[in-house]
Amino acid sequence: MLKVQTIFADPLALERDALMVALWEGEKFAGTSAKIDRKLNGQLGKLREWGEVKGKLGEVTVVHTLGLMTPKRVVLVGLGKAEEIDAEKVRRAIGNAVKTLNRISCQFVSIAIDTFPQNKISASDLGRAIAEGAILANYRYLRKSDNSEAPTLESLELVAASKRAVAETEKGVQLGTVMANATNFARNLVNAPASEMTPIALAEQAKAVAEKHGLRCEVYDENWIEQVGMGALRAVSLGSNQPPRFIVLHYEGEENAQKIGLVGKGITFDSGGLCLKTAEGMLEMKGDMAGAAAVIAAMDAIGQLKPKINVIGCVPATENMPSGSAFKPGDILKTFSGKTVEVINTDAEGRLILADAIVYAKRQGASLILDAATLTGAAIIALGPVCTGAFGNDENLVQEVIRAGKIAGEPIWAMPMHQEYRDLIRSDFADIKNTGGRPGGAITAAWFIGEFVGDTPWVHLDIAPTFWSERESHYFAKGATGVMVRTFIQFVLSRSI
Ligand code: BES
Ligand code: MN
Ligand code: ZN
C-alpha cells in the first residue's frame, strides 16, 4: 500500500528514485523547477525550447539526472494552464505520473509542491488531490502467479516549501488517503470473482469494517428475511444455492444529529435469473454489488473520520440465478412495505431488493436516503461511461449530491423524473410491475424504487455507467472504479454538525 506524507526538506537533497515537479503550459520554471534546471545545466529549458515538453495536462516526461543531482530522476508532470487548475486535474495528472513511475520501477518518490500555484488551490485541497490521484492510480487487481505487473511505488513525499505549509497540506493528505484507500477497498470487493464474493463473504467484509472502527453490524440470514417479510429480496434469492444476507452497519457519531441512510445494491452475481442474460452480458455481473461495495467502503472511511452525524448503511445481498426454485416472470411478490409487485422480468432484480432495503432504512429512522446501484443498461445508453445518473424526489438534495460528487471527482448528472414515467410501471394485477419496457428504462427503474421511498428525501444513483472501466486511464485501472465511495463520504462530511 502506497504511503503518502508531507515533509519539510530540500527536495534536491533527497535520495529518491524520482523527484516530481509540476509543469504548466506556457509558464517559466520557478522555485524548485528553476533550481533543477540550473543543476541540470539548462536541460529542462532546452526540452521546452525543443517542444519536447509543453506542460499539457496528462503529459509525463522522465529526465535522468546522471549524477548532477541527488534524486535519480526528475519527472515533469504536465498540468495544463495554471489558471485552469482544479483538484480533478491534479488527481489525473498525478495518476498518469504514478503509472509512469511504476512502469520504470520507482519505489521512493517525492514531489515539490512549491511548483503548484499556491493562490489557486488551497494547500489542503492540493494535498488531498495528490494523495487521491497517487493512491488511486497505484491500484491494480492482480491474480497472476508472478509479481511482474504489481505496482512498485511504496512512498510519496510531498515536500512543502515552508514548515508552515506542512500542517495544512498534511491535513489534506490524510483525508485524501482515507478517501482513496476506501475507494480501493470497494474496487477489491467488486473485482473479486462472484464465486468468492458471495453474500456471506460480503457480510464478513462488513463485519470486519465494523470491528475495525467500533461500528455496530447486523447480518440477517435467509430465515430472518423470510420471517420479517422481505418478500422481494427473498424472491430474488430463491434460484441460488448461495443463501442471501441482509447487512446493516450503524455509525453513531452524534446523538442530536440526523441519520443518513446509505443503501447499496448487493447482487453478488446477476445471471438475469430465468430471464437469463447472454454470456457477454454476464461477464461484468460479478460487479453487480458495486453499490453495496460503495456503502461498505464509505462506512469504513466514516468510521475512521468520525464526523458528527449518524449513518445507517444497508446492503441487501444475494445472487440472481436460474434454477428449479427460482422466482418466475408472472410471480406476484409481497414486499417488506406490504406493497405487491408483478414480476415481468427476473433480470430487473436490483430494484426489487432495493425496495425492501430502503423501507428497512426508513423504519430504522433514516431521515434521508442515498442509494447506489448498478441498476440499468439504459443508464449506460443514456450517459456513456462518464456520468453516474441521479434520480430523486427532492431537487435540492439531488443538487447537493451532485456538488459532493464534483468535489470528490465523480461526475453525476440529474435525470428527469416527470410523473408521466410512473404510468409505465402500472400493473393490472399488483400495485406495481418491475419493468416498464426499454424506453426510459433507467427512469422507470428509479420510479419503481421511489414508490417505496415515499416522502423521505431520496437520491438514487445509477452507477451502471461508471462502476467499471473498460480501459486503463489516469487514476483508473481496467475493472472496478470504486465509484460513489468518495461522493458518499464527501456528502456525509458536508452534513456533519
Ligand atoms: N445489473 C443489471 C444492469 C446492468 C447492466 C449493470 C450492465 C451494469 C452493466 C440489472 O440487473 C439489469 O439486468 N437490468 C436490466 C433491466 C431490464 C430487464 C428492465 C437491463 O438494464 O437490461
Ligand atoms: Mn439484472
Ligand atoms: Zn442486476
Tell me, what CATH number does 486's domain have?
3.40.630.10
Gap from CA of 394 to ligand 2 centroid (Å): 27
d(CA 96, CA 2): 15
**268 plus 387 within the same structural domain:** yes
Q: Is 409 in the pocket of ligand 1 (CB under 6 A)?
A: no
Number of other residues whose CB lies within 10 A of the CB of residue 72: 17
> 351, 362, 433, 486: which one is catalytic?
351
What was the pLDDT predicted at 148?
86
Q: Is 345 in the pocket of ligand 1 (CB under 6 A)?
A: yes
Q: Is 320 in the pocket of ligand 1 (CB under 6 A)?
A: no
Mark which of 134, 161, 184 sits at the end of a domain: 184
Give the bridge partners for 22, in sequence order.
77
What was the pLDDT predicted at 268?
99
Give the tens place of pLDDT for each residue, 382-394.
999 999 999 999 9
**347 plus 312 within the same structural domain:** yes
Gap from CA of 377 to ligand 1 centroid (Å): 5
d(CA 261, CA 458): 9
Q: In the annotation, is 351 catalytic?
A: yes
Mark which of 184, 202, 225 sits at the end of a domain: 184
Number of other residues whose CB lies within 10 A of the CB of residue 462: 33
Asked if residue 489 has pLDDT above 90, the reply is yes
Helix (H, G, I), strand (E, B) or coil at 342: strand
Q: Is 270 in the pocket of ligand 1 (CB under 6 A)?
A: yes
d(CA 219, CA 221): 7
Give the tens place of pLDDT for each residue, 113-160.
999 998 999 999 999 999 999 999 999 999 999 988 999 999 999 999
**143 plus 102 within the same structural domain:** yes
**273 plus 386 within the same structural domain:** yes
**Minimal CA–CA distance to 234: which of 314, 293, 317?**
317
Give the tens place of pLDDT for each residue, 399-431.
999 999 999 999 999 999 999 999 999 999 999
Q: In the annotation, is 38 catalytic?
A: no
**249 plus 341 within the same structural domain:** yes
List of residues 6+ apart from 8 with CB closer than 8 A: 159, 160, 162, 163, 165, 166
**84 plus 178 within the same structural domain:** yes
**464 plus 491 within the same structural domain:** yes
Nearest CA to ligand 1 atom 7: 377
What was the pLDDT predicted at 452?
98
In contact, 481 and 467? CB cutoff 8 Å:
yes
Mutating to test ligand 1, I would choose from 288, 351, 435 the residue with most ligand atoms within 8 A of its C-beta, which is 288
Mean pLDDT of 363-379: 98
Domain count, the chain: 2
Asked if residue 78 has pLDDT above 90, the reply is yes
d(CA 470, CA 41): 43
Mean pLDDT of 270-292: 98
In contact, 78 and 57? CB cutoff 8 Å:
yes
Cell match 428504462: residue? 441
In contact, 31 and 112? CB cutoff 8 Å:
yes
In contact, 215 and 249? CB cutoff 8 Å:
yes
**Mean per-residue pLDDT over the chain, rounded:** 97
Residues 257, 258, 259, 261: what is their CA dihedral angle, to the nearest 10 degrees? -140
Q: Is 376 in the pocket of ligand 1 (CB under 6 A)?
A: yes
- Residue ranges making up the domain that contains 115: 3-184
Asked if residue 375 has pLDDT above 90, the reply is yes
Helix (H, G, I), strand (E, B) or coil at 27: coil
Cell triple for residue 221? 440470514
Gap from CA of 259 to ligand 3 centroid (Å): 28
**342 plus 422 within the same structural domain:** yes
Three-state SS string across 422-447, please?
A: HHHHCCCCCCEECCCCCCCHHHHHHH
Instruction: Using pLDDT thresholds of 50, 70 and 90, give the confidence band for residue 248.
Output: very high
Give the bridge partners for 6, in sequence order.
158
In contact, 260 and 312? CB cutoff 8 Å:
yes
Cell triple for residue 272? 438475469
**Which CATH number is 18's domain given?**
3.40.220.10
**197 plus 140 within the same structural domain:** no
Q: What is the pTM of this model?
A: 0.98
Q: What CA–CA distances, in Å, run from 189 to 140, 183, 385, 471?
A: 13, 10, 20, 19
What was the pLDDT predicted at 147?
85
Number of other residues whose CB lies within 10 A of the CB of residue 146: 7
Mean pLDDT of 367-394: 98
**Minimal CA–CA distance to 179: which of 492, 496, 495?**
492
Mark which of 123, 154, 184 sits at the end of a domain: 184
**49 plus 22 within the same structural domain:** yes
**68 plus 121 within the same structural domain:** yes
**Minimal CA–CA distance to 236: which of 324, 339, 340, 322?**
322
Q: Which ligand is nearest to the CA of 448?
A: 1
Give the tens place of pLDDT for each residue, 203-220.
999 999 999 999 999 999
Gap from CA of 46 to ligand 1 centroid (Å): 54
**H helices then E strands: how many in the chain?**
15, 20
**159 plus 268 within the same structural domain:** no
H or E segment and range at residue 332: strand 332-334
Instruction: Using pLDDT thresholds of 50, 70 and 90, give the confidence band for residue 166.
Output: very high
Mean pLDDT of 15-40: 96
User: What angle, rounded to 10 degrees, do the helices at 87-103 and 123-137 form?
Assistant: 40
Q: Order of strands, edge to edge, in the sheet holding 18-23?
A: 3-8, 155-160, 108-112, 18-23, 73-78, 60-64
